[in-house]
């Protein structure tokens, strides 16, 4: 049997270029995994963020705001 598996692309997050209050949206079918990746990468970049599961243009994903 062939099972179809959706692979996430490798994401590059714009933390270094963000000002406080800026946000970005990452479309994903696996929002909980993406929240973990975003949280981990923001700590490496030493920025404070808030991230929530969200939708944009009918697509499931994660919205991320830089807060500090």
Confidence (pLDDT) at 49: 97
Q: Cα-Cα-Cα-Cα dihedral of 33, 28, 25, 43, to 10°?
A: 20
- The residue extents of the domains of the chain are 21-66
Q: What angle do CA 15, 67, 54 make, to 5 degrees?
A: 80
Asked if 46 contacts 15 with a C-beta cutoff of 8 angstroms, the reply is no
- Span 30-65, pLDDT tens digits: 999 999 999 999 999 999 999 999 999 999 999 999
Strand partners, 51: 64
pTM, rounded to two decimals: 0.82
Distance from CA of residue 55 to its chain's centroid? 12
pLDDT of residue 10: 76
């Amino acid at each position: 049997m062939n099972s179809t598996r959706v692979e996430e692309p490798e994401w590059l997050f714009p933390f270094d270029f963000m000002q406080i209050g800026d946000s970005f949206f990452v479309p994903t079918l696996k929002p909980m995994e993406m929240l973990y990746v975003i949280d981990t990468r923001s700590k490496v970049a030493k920025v404070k963020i808030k991230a929530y599961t969200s939708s944009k243009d009918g697509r499931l994903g994660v919205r991320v705001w830089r807060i500090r």
